[in-house]
Amino acid sequence: MDAATRRWRAALFLFMLAAGTGMASWVARTPAVRDGLEVSTAAMGLVLFGLSTGSMAGVMLSARVVRRYGGRVAISGGSALIVAGLFVVAGATSLSLAAGVFGGLALFGAGLGLAEVAFNIEGAAVERVLERPVLPVLHGCFSLGTVLGALLGMGLTAARIPVGWHLSAVAVLIAAAALWAVLAIPGGTGKDAPADPDSAREKGGPRRRSDVWRDRRLVCIALIVLAMAFSEGAANDWLPLLMVDGHHVSATAGSLTFLVFASAMTVGRFTGGPLLERFGRVHVVRVSALIAVAGLILVIVSPSPLVAGAATVLWGLGASLGFPVTLSAAGDHPHDAATRVAAVATAGYVAFLVGPPALGFLAGHIGLRLTMTVVLAFLVIAATLAGALAPRHGEHTGARPTSDGHTPVPDLEQGNPS
């Protein structure tokens, strides 16, 4: 591996680590933010809607930005929005402004969404250069960041450090990490090369971008992504409050439970490669969904906070591989790999869009524990549809398969649409 490629890969890992730290820093302090804003659980769902709305807007814009300017520009813009969003949330929380927290979360979510498709495309391009998997570890770095952020949040919660100071410090650290990462990422990855209209149509250009959802297999893959993202997002948005309100533990214990979940996610993503190589996507995702179901059932029905907290290990392990594995499956196409990845990633963000407010409104009537049965239903759907992740006969990208048995996304700098 040459030095430039090593820096490129390290930059993506660092960016994901920083983004995960920022996300978990916010999540770990949601009970304190809710109390500081003096809002109900249902109203907190509306506040969280800002994160979801921003995420959806960012991910829908991301593919267009990558096609026109390349992945580095999308990641640069996303980094700026993430940092700005954390500063706004910090200030608005200190001033008890719910609308300000909503706006800050919208900026933060837009930054994550804008970078989402870009760093997956960048990671797929690195996979092609190295001829070995990168995406599972890339998402594992995000999960590792959530562990670090949860640890930091738990410690600062116990020390009674104000949320505003906490999130401001995290924003400064993310800004420094993002600056180094952006300088190490090459320009132009994913950018459309000039081509005549007839060539674009033959290769899957604008016409194919509008037709991508006619593929029934891709629709099933998108539903799996939506279900698995909904499971992960439900924990990210509500797990600390679920433990505080549903199992009557302290705010510090709620942050600790999220740390357990995030740690399980990290372990699952860093160790999932051998399982995928031996058993394949279909079996791994189906069993993963069922493991998450088992863990979530215990969280819902167990009268013991200790058992419920321990069960989040199963929830985290079960949810860990859903997103990266389904993105890899979406990329199994000779021409439309990046377009399909963008479409499936958008479906995942639908879960983040509808999940927080819907769960919050429902929890206001029946409580958070019973509300989590909705997440159970989505996980059952994912297990049922897992067969769609099997490669179709003769479908490949023409590149050498990676060591986990997947075929990497084509070289996006050669003009394939994204």
Q: What pLDDT, in 10s, does the model give residues 370-381?
A: 999 999 999 999
List the structure tokens of 184: 């190490």
Compute the C-alpha angle 292/296/298, nearest 5°: 125
- Tokens found for residue 316: 């985290």
Distances (CA, A) of 282 to 52, 168, 277, 363, 409: 29, 42, 11, 33, 19
Provide the residue type at 376 as one letter. L
pLDDT tops 60 at residue 417: no
Report the share of the chain in percent with pLDDT over 70.
Answer: 85
- Rounded to an integer, the average pLDDT of 274-285 is 87
Please name each of the domains of the chain with its CATH number.
3-189+213-393 (1.20.1250.20)
Task: Give me the phi and psi of 302, to 5 degrees please.
Answer: -70, 135
In tens, the pLDDT along 283-304 reads 999 999 999 999 999 999 999 9
* pLDDT exceeds 80 at position 409: no
Alpha carbons 240 and 252: distance in angstroms, whole number: 9
Tell whether the model's pLDDT for residue 44 goes beyond 90.
Answer: no
Percentage of the chain lying above the pLDDT 90 cut: 35
Is 279's pLDDT higher than 80? yes
Beta-carbon contacts of residue 211 (< 8 Å; ≥ 6 apart): none
268 pLDDT more than 70? yes
pLDDT at 385: 94
Give which of 402, 23, 7, 16 is closest to 235, Cα–Cα. 23
CA distance 326 to 329: 5
Tens of pLDDT along 67-123?
788 889 999 999 999 999 999 999 998 888 999 999 999 999 999 989 877 888 788
Stretch 343-360: mean pLDDT: 75
Please check whether residue 88 is in contact with residue 80, taking contact to mean a CB–CB distance below 8 angstroms: no
pLDDT computed for residue 204 by the predictor? 45
Composition of the chain by helix, strand, coil, percent to 5: 80, 0, 20
pLDDT band of residue 312 (cuts 50, 70, 90) is very high
Q: What would the DSSP string read from start to end of 322-377?
A: HHHHHHHHHT-SSS-HHHHHHHHHHHHHHHHHHHHHHHHHHHHHH-HHHHTHHHHH
Start-to-end C-alpha separation, the chain: 26
